[in-house]
Amino acid sequence: MKKIKIGWLGVGVMGYSMAMHFLNAGFPLSLYSRTRSKAHALEERGAQWKDNPASVAEDSDVIFSMLGYPDDVESVLLGENGVVDGIAPGTMMVDMTTSSPELATRIEFKMVEKKAWSMDAPVSGGDRGARDATLAIMCGGERKSFDQVLPLLRVVGKEIAWFGPAGSGQQAKMANQILIASTMVGTVEALLYGERANLDLEHLIKVLSKGAAGCWSLLNLAPRMLKEDWQPGFYIKHFIKDMKIALEDAERMGIVLPGLELAAQFYDEAKIQGLEEKGTQALLRVLRSMNQK
């Protein structure tokens, strides 16, 4: 039986690990990224480098993208020498970037014009989820497209769900980011309070994570904070982008999200302090600076 040929676009903090899972599973994989040096280990494992996204599309049955910003998605998928220029009828395009619902619907429209398929499938789980292939994946698009690509999504994810037509996956991810935005603020405030109270923070994290306050941020990011490890599992700059998308979509719906607006101010302060290239756990540094005696 012929192996499905995978195309991969973007090898950043999460994309690299995700692409490697497909190689380890034995899928032929072609790839393109703006920085080729980041792809060297993938090439050594057998991935075939292509000079542009259109060339990746020409040589793939299913194409995945894991990029940074909506502008990157639009350029790589719909721009000159983009996926739309090389995709063949019947090919599937799966964008796993956290991007805008509106862009997801435009991508589907352009792919349908090429008699191809499209799905928005943003993920949650950070660098650890990407490495462990335990990502949560939220999908929007045709149901039959979801059913067809589901076995491939299981290569990189654990909890995978379809939410409806194009853009629905992105909106599910926005709900995820709205929730995380506030829980991250609560996490760093709890740790600073415990720090000032001279509590054993490792013990505090262990106990709190078993009770009603338990959450992903406390379990996975608080231990990094104690080690002063600010390296990105998920960049602050990307989270600022996500909150902006969520607030814009909420405004379009005619709803107000005051908690998210307050959290966004906190993250904006992190950017002002030059921390946008750090992981979201660096919010603890921002809070400490706000509370210097």
Q: Write out pLDDT tens, residues 32-65.
A: 998 899 999 999 999 999 999 999 999 999 999 9
Query: 176 and 156 in one domain?
Result: no
The whole-number pLDDT of residue 67 equals 95
- Catalytic residue positions, numbered: 173
Average pLDDT, rounded, for the chain = 95
Length of the chain: 293
Both tokens assigned to 116? 């191809």
Q: 25, 75 in Cβ contact below 8 A?
A: no
Query: 221 and 96 in one domain?
Result: no
pLDDT band of 245, cuts 50, 70, 90? very high
Domain end point (choices 165, 186, 208):
165
Both tokens assigned to 264? 């966004």
Domain end point (choices 143, 165, 187):
165
Both tokens assigned to 49? 């480098």
Query: 159 and 14 in one domain?
Result: yes
User: Is 25 among the domain residues?
Assistant: yes
Both tokens assigned to 174? 């926005």
The whole-number pLDDT of residue 103 equals 97
The whole-angstrom separation of Cα 222 and Cα 229 is 10
Query: 208 and 74 in one domain?
Result: no
Domain end point (choices 102, 131, 165):
165
Query: 131 and 182 in one domain?
Result: no
The whole-angstrom separation of Cα 157 and Cα 136 is 6
User: Is 226 among the domain residues?
Assistant: yes
Cα dist from 284 to 136, 189, 241, 249, whole Å: 26, 8, 20, 28
Query: 133 and 48 in one domain?
Result: yes
Secondary structure of residue 215 in the 3-state scheme: coil
Look at residue 293 and tell me whether its pLDDT is greater than 60. Answer: no
CA dihedral 172, 216, 125, 264 (to 10 degrees): 60
Domain at 59, CATH number: 3.40.50.720
Look at residue 142 and tell me whether its pLDDT is greater than 60. Answer: yes
Report how many domains make up the chain. Answer: 2
Q: 167, 120 in Cβ contact below 8 A?
A: yes
Query: 257 and 134 in one domain?
Result: no
Query: 110 and 160 in one domain?
Result: yes
Show the CA angle centred on residue 140, arms to residues 19 and 260, nearest 5°.
95
Secondary structure of residue 141 in the 3-state scheme: strand
Chain segment 188-197, per-residue pLDDT in tens:
999 999 999 9
The whole-angstrom separation of Cα 247 and Cα 253 is 10
Both tokens assigned to 125? 């789980």
User: What range does the domain containing 88 cover?
Assistant: 6-165
How many CA atoms does the CB half-sphere of 91 hold within 13 Å?
25
Query: 39 and 122 in one domain?
Result: yes
- Specify the DSSP class assigned to residue 110: H
Alpha carbon 148 to its chain's center: 22
User: Is 78 among the domain residues?
Assistant: yes
Query: 182 and 65 in one domain?
Result: no
pLDDT band of 179, cuts 50, 70, 90? very high
H/E run at residue 88: none
In DSSP terms, which residues pair with 141 in a beta bridge?
Answer: 119
Both tokens assigned to 95? 């964008």
User: Is 238 among the domain residues?
Assistant: yes
User: Is 77 among the domain residues?
Assistant: yes
Alpha carbon 162 to its chain's center: 17
Cα dist from 252 to 54, 102, 104, 105, 245, whole Å: 33, 11, 16, 15, 11
Query: 175 and 160 in one domain?
Result: no
Residue 19 CB-density burial (10 A; 0-12 exposed, 13-18 middle, 19+ buried): buried
Query: 55 and 161 in one domain?
Result: yes
User: Is 1 among the domain residues?
Assistant: no
User: Is 267 among the domain residues?
Assistant: yes
Domain at 259, CATH number: 1.10.1040.10
Look at residue 1 and tell me whether its pLDDT is greater than 70. Answer: no
Both tokens assigned to 83? 């996926």
